[in-house]
Structure 1
Amino acid sequence: MEIRVGFFRGLNVGGKNKLSMTDLKQIFLDLDFADVQTQGNTGIILYCQKDSKNKLTDNQIATEVFNQTAVATQYISMSFDELSFLMEHLPDWWNENTDWRHNVILLLENYPSNNIMTNLPSLDSSIEKVAVVNNTILWSSAFSDRSLYYKSQYRQLIKHEAYPLMTIRNANSLSKLYNQASLLYNEKKSSSTL
């Protein structure tokens, strides 16, 4: 049994693509996933994959959600091991400055992070820092001072050709998800179902 975490792009944002997490959870249960949990109304989901032989792809899951709800969305998932690797390789500056916004950028459809990173102008490290871990971009930027935020390259991401292939979560959501997944992992390990 494999623990996985998933991220839907664009659910429940700005009053669009509304989908209750109760309904989403039921779809995952109907797909024969176990121990399904959601995180608030964020489109973040945690579950166990029972059978690795019949593993659904991320696109198949997004299609199934659309087929059952008519809500068009995109989806990316990772294993608990991949999430743990990400958490173990966070840069020293991550989530350190409380006046900054700390975002995790997950890239859909295997879009390569280097296509974003190589096209960036030089970053001003006094207002933002970026690191990449396994194609996941960790981006911290000044936020409380709006004039600095408007100078940041992070603000320009919305104009990037890859923006429709990004789903972005903050550091607190990532930390909460990791804690939630770790609890499930330890529970499964103690009952020897991993």
Structure 2
Amino acid sequence: MKYIALFRGINVGGNRKVEMKKLRVLFESLGFTEVSTYINSGNVIFESNQDPKTVFLAITTGLEKNFDFEIPTLVKTEKEMKKIADAIPSDWQNDPTQRTDIAYLFPDVDSKKTIEELPFKKDFVDVRYVKGAIFWNIKKEDVNKSQLAKLISHKLYKSMTIRNINTARFLAGEKT
């Protein structure tokens, strides 16, 4: 089965550095196959015959042994990633006029009700939920009006890991 591991808060602003090569080697040492990384923000694509819970436990244990800081981790199957990507309207893009992001949710906040708690002005943002993620689209001209930047200081921010639409579609196996 194909899996995607999503890490939160690594290689941001020069902090909590994790080399993608080191992650690849770690995943291979855990017995995973077809291991590859995608961009430096912490995405590992791999295959395993183990069930999702066993895979998650192996990864989190391996990370704890190899790094001196916590790395919040989500593990999704390719099927889960495709379901999320398929829920996003095909005309939602990142281009000169619009921005689309996906917040993959940790289990403690994986609920449609999470949208109600988001700190930005929803008059300017089209935000939707699908199991495992919240995603939004905003006109670039409205980014400041939306107060989207407030998300970074909100309590929910620690329970999600955000990727742009191009990364989300790539990780779901779509050609971007």
TM-score, normalized by length of structure 1?
0.78
CA RMSD between the two structures? 2.5
SS at 1:118 equivalent: helix
Tell me the residue number matched to 1:133.
130
- The alpha-carbon deviation at position 54 of structure 1 amounts to 7.6
SS at 2:100 equivalent: strand
Tell me the residue number matched to 1:5.
4
Q: Could you list the runs of 4 or more consecutive aligned residues of structure 1 that deviate by over 6 angstroms after TM superposition?
A: none
Amino acid at match of 1:19: V
SS at 1:47 equivalent: strand
- The alpha-carbon deviation at position 92 of structure 1 amounts to 5.1
Equivalent residue pairs, number: 174
- The alpha-carbon deviation at position 160 of structure 1 amounts to 2.2
Amino acid at match of 1:12: N
Task: Please tell me whether residue 91 in structure 1 is matched to residue 89 in structure 2.
Answer: yes
- The alpha-carbon deviation at position 153 of structure 1 amounts to 4.6
- The alpha-carbon deviation at position 113 of structure 1 amounts to 3.3
Deviates more, 1:32-41 or 1:103-112: 103-112
- The alpha-carbon deviation at position 23 of structure 1 amounts to 0.3
Distance 1:111 1:151 in 2: 26
Distance 1:116 1:45, change over 3 A: same
Q: For 1:115-154, what aligned pairs fall within 5 Å after superposition?
A: 115-120=113-118, 123-124=122-123, 127-143=124-140, 145=141, 148-154=142-148
- The alpha-carbon deviation at position 135 of structure 1 amounts to 3.1
The match for 1:174 among 160, 168, 171 is 168
TM-score, normalized by length of structure 2?
0.85
Tell me the residue number matched to 2:59.
61
Distance 1:122 1:41, change over 3 A: closer
Tell me the residue number matched to 2:149.
155
Q: Is the 8 A contact 1:32 1:50 kept in 2?
A: no
Q: For 1:15-54, what aligned pairs fall within 5 Å after superposition?
A: 15-52=14-51
- The alpha-carbon deviation at position 53 of structure 1 amounts to 8.8
The percent identity for this pair of structures is 26
SS at 1:41 equivalent: coil
- The alpha-carbon deviation at position 19 of structure 1 amounts to 1.0
Distance 2:77 2:29 in 1: 20
Distance 1:92 1:131, change over 3 A: farther
Give the greater-gyration-radius structure (CA): 1
Q: Is the 8 A contact 1:49 1:55 kept in 2?
A: no
- The alpha-carbon deviation at position 34 of structure 1 amounts to 0.8
- The alpha-carbon deviation at position 97 of structure 1 amounts to 6.0
Tell me the residue number matched to 2:111.
113
SS at 2:18 equivalent: coil
Cα displacement string for residues 73-100 of structure 1 (whole angstroms, at most 9, x for unaligned residues) = 1010111111121222223552276422
Gaps of 5+ in 2: none
Amino acid at match of 1:132: Y
